[in-house]
Structures are given as C-alpha cells and as structure tokens.
Amino acid sequence: MLKRVVVLTIIGIIAVVGGFSTVGAEYYQGYQVCVPCHNGRTAPDLKGLFSSADELIRTAKSVKDPMMRNIQQNNELLKAAAKDLGLK
C-alpha cells in the first residue's frame, strides 16, 4: 500500500511540474518576451509603432543594444511577436 501511495505521489508531482513548465513556455513566447522592457519606460511600447511584421523584424535586428542580442537571433520569436501585435 505504501509503495502505491509513493508511486502515485511521484506521478502527481511530475504531472503538476510538467503542467507548470507548459504554461510558462506558452506565456513567454511572442510579444510576452518583449513586455518586460518595452513598457514605455525602459524602452518604447511596441504597440502601434510598426505597420508590418517585416518592419518590426528589420528594426529589431538593427538595434545595437546588447539586451536585444538573443532576440535578434530568434526569427520565430520575432515573427510570433509581430503576430501578437496584429502585424502582417
């Protein structure tokens, strides 16, 4: 009986932790990666700043700020951010 309880507890913990990691991965994709800095105070708010996805991606890749290095190398993230902003 104790063995069964231990096994079920471990399975439950794995399921819960796996669920948390999935939620986190979905949350920090696209524009959500940009929000901590692009809040209007630290860096300009991106909403309404660009007219197309290509313009956003081109501008993001041209920025010299070292904080943008990881994002500049991730085309999928930039495309997701453009999509989240409603850009085509």
Counting DSSP H helices and E strands in the chain, the numbers are: 4, 0
Is pLDDT at 73 greater than 80 in this prediction? yes
Mean pLDDT computed over every residue of the chain = 80
Domain ranges of the chain: 2-84
Decide which of 4 and 63 is more confident.
63
In angstroms, the CA 55 to CA 65 distance is 18
How much of the chain exceeds pLDDT 70, in percent?
82
DSSP code for 28: T
For the segment 33-55, what is each residue's pLDDT rounded down to a tens digit? 888 888 887 788 888 889 999 99
Tokens of 73: 């190398």
pLDDT average, residue stretch 26-36: 72
Would you say 78 and 46 are in contact if contact means Cβ atoms under 8 Å apart? no
